[in-house]
Amino acid sequence: MWAASNLHAWLQSRLSGFRVPPGFDQYATLVYLALPLWLVLIAAFRLHLAVSQRIGQAELLVRLLKVHVLGLAVLSVVQFTTHAVINRSLIALFMLATFVAMHLQRTIMLVWAQYQYARGIGRERLLLVGQPSRRMAELVRAATQRRYPAQLLGYLEAPVGDAGLSVPPSDMPALPCIGKLADLARVLHDQPVDHVMFFPPANHPDRVREQLLACEAVGVSASFSVDLVQLADAMPRVTTSYDHAFVTFDVSPKRTDALAIKYGLDPILAGLAILALSPLLLVITLCVLVTMGRPVFFGQLRGGLFGRPFRMLKFRSMQRGAEDQRSDLASSNEMSGPVFKIKDDPRVTSLGRVLRRTSLDELPQLFNVLTGSMSLVGPRPLPVDEQAQIQGWQRRRLAMKPGITCLWQVGGRNNVAFVDWMMLDLKYIDEWSLWLDLQILLRTIPVVLFSRGAS
pLDDT for residue 196 is more than 90: yes
pLDDT one-digit tens code per residue, 59-109: 778 888 888 787 777 777 766 666 666 666 666 777 777 788 878 878 887
3-state SS assignment for residue 254: coil
Of 215, 261, 230, 257, the C-alpha closest to 398 is 215
Displacement of CA 317 from its chain's centroid (Å) = 28
Q: Which residues pair with 223 in a beta bridge?
A: 197, 248
Query: Fold for domain 125-249?
Result: Rossmann fold (3.40.50)
Distance CA 232, CA 166 (A): 27
Q: CB within 8 A of 17, min separation 6: which ones?
A: 89
Q: Average pLDDT, whole number, for the chain?
A: 80
Distance CA 421, CA 414 (A): 9
Number of helices (H) and strands (E) in the chain: give both, helices first: 14, 11
6 pLDDT tier (thresholds 50, 70, 90): low
Higher per-residue pLDDT: 122 or 12: 122
pLDDT one-digit tens code per residue, 8-51: 556 555 666 556 555 555 555 566 666 677 777 777 777 766 66
List the chain domain ranges: 2-118, 125-249, 256-449
Q: Angle CA(52)–CA(54)–CA(58) in degrees, nearest 5? A: 140
Distance CA 424, CA 407 (A): 6
Burial 129-163 (b: 16+ CB within 10 A, else e): bbbbbebbbbbbeebeeeeeebebbebbbbeeeeb
State the DSSP code for 327.
G
Beta strands in 141-256 (DSSP E): 151-157, 177-180, 195-198, 221-225, 238-241, 244-249
Alpha helix positions (H), 203-255? 209-218
pLDDT one-digit tens code per residue, 133-176: 888 998 998 888 877 788 899 999 988 765 555 566 777 788 89
Which range has the top average pLDDT, 5-9, 316-320, 329-333? Answer: 316-320
pLDDT for residue 358 is more than 80: yes
Tell me which amino acid residue 193 is. V
Question: Which pLDDT score, from 0 to 100, does residue 1 have?
Answer: 55
Question: Which pLDDT score, from 0 to 100, does residue 89 have?
Answer: 63
Q: In what order do the strands lie in the sheet with 195-198?
A: 177-180, 151-157, 125-129, 195-198, 221-225, 244-249, 238-241
Q: Would you say 223 and 239 are in contact if contact means Cβ atoms under 8 Å apart? A: yes
pLDDT average, residue stretch 418-425: 90
User: Quick count: other Cβ atoms within 10 Å of Cβ 384?
Assistant: 15
Q: Please report, for residues 18, 26, 218, 396, 400, the alpha-carbon distance to residue 429 in angstroms, rounded to integers and kept in the order given.
A: 55, 48, 12, 9, 7
User: Quick count: other Cβ atoms within 10 Å of Cβ 308?
Assistant: 19
Of 29, 8, 31, the C-alpha closest to 20 is 8
pLDDT for residue 372 is more than 60: yes
Question: Which pLDDT score, from 0 to 100, does residue 328 have?
Answer: 66
Tell me which amino acid residue 422 is. M
Higher per-residue pLDDT: 428 or 227: 428
Distance CA 54, CA 366 (A): 25
Distance CA 311, CA 301 (A): 4
Helix (H) or strand (E) holding 300: strand 297-303
Distance CA 173, CA 33 (A): 54
Termini Cα distance of the chain: 48
User: Quick count: other Cβ atoms within 10 Å of Cβ 47?
Assistant: 20
pLDDT average, residue stretch 275-284: 93
